[in-house]
Amino acid sequence: MTDLEKRSDRSPVPADWTYAPAPESTDIVRLQERYGLYVGGEWLEAAEHYATIAPRDESPLANVAQASEADVRNAVGVAREAAAAWAALPGSERAKYLFRIARILAERSREFAVLESLNGGKPIKESRDVDIPLAAAHFFYYAGWADKLEYAFPNREPRPLGVAGQIIPWNFPLLMLSWKIAPALAAGNTVVLKPAETTPLTALLFCDVVRQAELPPGVVNIVTGDGSTGAALVDADVDKIAFTGSTEVGKAIQRRVAGTDKKLTLELGGKAANIVFDDAALDQAVEGIVNGIYFNQGHVCCAGSRLFVQESIYEPVVEKLKKRMATLRVGDPLDKNTDVGAINSRMQLEKIEELVAAGKEEGAEIYQSPCRLPEKGYWFAPTVFTNVAQSYRIAQEEIFGPVLSVLTFRTPDEAVEKANNTPYGLSAGIWTEKGSRILWMAQRLRAGVVWANTFNRFDPTSPFGGYKESGFGREGGLHGLEPYLDFV
């Protein structure tokens, strides 16, 4: 921060208010030097390994297996062998296994939270208060469905599919694992799950939870690796593929399963509109805007990356937003005061930098929060673009980083039209004090999740998933069971 910025009235917090470091201890995490593949309840050796690092300082954490095509085929075979017995188990017994997992996750939540922040770069505040509790809640929720499936689908006889291949992203590693594994197991399937290349560690720690819960061997199998491992899983003898990740990869997977009878669900990218009307509670809305885009460094598929402000309140909203951005604490993910942590990987950082450069070049005006970024590791300051046209790349493409584009509108109709002007359709936000307008807008927004006077909220009972190129299928709630069931 420059002296000028310190003195300016832009920051509501006096410049000399600095926070003392409040680091969360990493002692609770015991990492192995090397991890194999978790298949059939055992650790199998792999031929190749790669180093997984901490994005906060690029230090290596462990070596994890790069599963080959043969490794993946083997894991799927083991899952297949385990499928019949797991499916034949009374639902009430399957339920108890899942309840056990939920409980153990809660018991070991701090260990998971620290590891999640270490390996992924997200603030400990988030992994501790959001990711891990939600992951445990998700298992608890679906546990209860295991013996109640016949209530979920009237006039149908639900049956498990068999083996589910699941591929998850790096932004919410354990939470996405729970979104995938909990409904699959409740429905009576066995799974082979591939964590993201850059964030395998909490999934590998989860194998220890599986052990403690005494799950029958082969019901949960974890194979780590890069995109080629994922592709091998898609091609393997699985009955279903569930993928969360980029739209580009999602399309490639949809092509790969074309002509097969594999069931498919895709939860892909987004470019959510966050729409603020002139009657909204502005301070609350600004908090929501900040949470919408800077939560988890903007590594959120449903992030509110396009802010639409009603013209009459454009200036106060942007001013309040910049003031609030100046108070965001960017830095060590393991510090309990940190609001914005490290960018997940060098590759992602480069993608963000490229799009931000494009935004400047196309003529948008940039503002970045005046924070000091650590020297080592991957960092990007919270950024907002004003003077953005809908056609700019920053308003069209998913950035997946802490970068917000501000646009304006005059009427509710115009807001709807602009908000829907994207190939994506995952989420949207509405800020207004008028209940009828919330529902009017919600009806018209082509998005799978609509938040009113809030943003980025998740709950195991609440179905999540996209319209259009944001994918198909739902995760969470009653509707999240369907992708894992066959019906007679």
Partner 1 sequence: MSRLPVKKTYKLYIGGAFPRSESGRTYEAQGQNVARASRKDVRDAVVAARAAQPKWAAATAYNRGQVLYRIAEMMEARVPEFAELCSGKDEVHRSVDRWVWYAGFADKLAQVLGSSNPVAGPYFNFTIPEPTGVVGIVSPDEPPLLGLVSRIAPALTGGNAVVALASEARPLAAIELAEAVATSDVPGGVVNLLTGHRSELAPWLASHMDVNAIDLTGADGLRTDLELAAAENVKRVIVGKPDSQSLYEISSFLELKTVWHPIGT
Q: What's the rounded Cα separation, in Å, for the pair 162 and 258?
A: 19
SS3 20: coil
Indicate the residue among 332 and 469 with the shorter CB distance to partner 1.
469
Check if 302 is active-site: no
Q: Is 251 in the site for partner 1 (CB under 8 A)?
A: yes
Range in contact with partner 1 (rule: CB under 8 A) among 55-63, 97-105, 305-313, 462-470: 462-470
Q: Is 487 in the site for partner 1 (CB under 8 A)?
A: yes
Q: What's the rounded Cα separation, in Å, for the pair 297 and 102?
A: 27
- Pick from 474, 483, 484, 485: which binds partner 1 (CB under 8 A)? 474
- Pick from 469, 481, 483, 485: which binds partner 1 (CB under 8 A)? 469
Element containing residue 300 per DSSP (H, E): none
Nearest Cα residue to 399 out of 360, 362, 356, 366? 356
Q: Is 154 in the site for partner 1 (CB under 8 A)?
A: yes
Nearest distance from residue 247's CB to partner 1, in Å?
Answer: 7
Q: Which residues pair with 193 in a beta bridge?
A: 166, 222
Q: Is 268 in the site for partner 1 (CB under 8 A)?
A: yes
Q: How many residues does the chain have?
A: 488
Nearest distance from residue 159's CB to partner 1, in Å?
Answer: 14
Q: Is 258 in the site for partner 1 (CB under 8 A)?
A: yes
Phi/psi region, residue 404 (left: phi>0; alpha: psi -120 to 50; beta: rest), is beta
Please give the structure tokens belonging to residue 28. 């609770």
Q: What's the rounded Cα separation, in Å, for the pair 222 and 40?
A: 9
- Pick from 6, 255, 360, 372: which binds partner 1 (CB under 8 A)? 255
Nearest distance from residue 475's CB to partner 1, in Å?
Answer: 11
Instruction: Give the contact letters, 430-459, x = binds to partner 1 (CB under 8 A), - = no.
Output: -----x--xx--x----xxxxxxxx--x-x
Range in contact with partner 1 (rule: CB under 8 A) among 9-17, 253-261, 309-317, 327-335: 253-261
- Pick from 86, 400, 409, 472: which binds partner 1 (CB under 8 A)? 472
- Pick from 68, 166, 229, 247: which binds partner 1 (CB under 8 A)? 247
- Pick from 259, 375, 391, 436: which binds partner 1 (CB under 8 A)? 259
Q: Is 288 in the site for partner 1 (CB under 8 A)?
A: no
Q: Is 246 in the site for partner 1 (CB under 8 A)?
A: no
**E-strand stretches of 112-189:** 158-160, 163-167
- Exposure string for 224-259, b = 16+ CB within 10 A, e = fewer: bbeeebbbbbbbbebbbbbbbbebebbeebbeebee
Q: 69-88 and 227-235 helices cross at what angle (nearest 10)?
A: 50
Instruction: Give the contact letters, 395-434, x = binds to partner 1 (CB under 8 A), - = no.
Output: ----------------------------x-----------
Check if 301 is active-site: yes
Nearest Cα residue to 453 out of 268, 304, 338? 304
Indicate the residue among 113 and 280 with the shorter CB distance to partner 1.
280
Please give the structure tokens belonging to residue 307. 């802010």
**Residue in this structure with the two tokens 């996209």, named with its chain if needed:** 466
> How distant is the alpha carbon of residue 483 from its chain centre?
19
CA distances from 188 to 148, 210, 286, 441 (A): 12, 16, 44, 39
Range in contact with partner 1 (rule: CB under 8 A) among 64-72, 212-220, 251-259, 322-330: 251-259
For the CA atoms of the chain, what is the radius of gyration? 22
Positions touching partner 1 (CB under 8 A) are 137, 154-156, 247, 250-252, 254-255, 257-259, 266, 268, 423, 435, 438-439, 442, 447-454, 457, 459, 461-465, 467-472, 474, 477-479, 487
**Residues designated catalytic:** 267, 301
